[in-house]
């Protein structure tokens, strides 16, 4: 959980929270969210099971949509001051 909090702070400091929210609200992101086992995700997050979180994320990132979204996030994070 600490890593997510740290990531959140970094996004706020870099002024990226609105852009990340916009990405999360795309149809592609909604489809990807539907692929996740929400119960397993919640359990892994609550228990701090990083391996389970990685496996769940990996299953989504192996899809074409997941790779596209990950690349969009990478590009966003490389942009400075936007």
Q: What is the pTM of this model?
A: 0.66
| CA-based radius of gyration for the chain | 13
| Alpha carbons 47 and 77: distance in angstroms, whole number | 28
Coil vs helix vs strand at 14: coil
Indicate the range of 4-13, 14-23, 39-48 predicted with least confidence: 4-13
Residue 70 has pLDDT above 70, yes or no: yes
């Amino acid at each position: 959980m600490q890593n997510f909090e740290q990531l959140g702070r970094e996004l706020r400091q870099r002024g990226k929270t609105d852009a990340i929210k916009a990405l999360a609200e795309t149809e592609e992101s909604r489809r990807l969210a539907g692929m996740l086992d929400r119960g397993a995700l919640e359990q892994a997050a609550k228990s701090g099971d990083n391996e389970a979180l990685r496996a769940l994320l990996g299953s989504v990132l192996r899809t074409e949509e997941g790779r596209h979204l990950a690349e969009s996030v990478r590009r966003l994070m490389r942009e400075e001051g936007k």
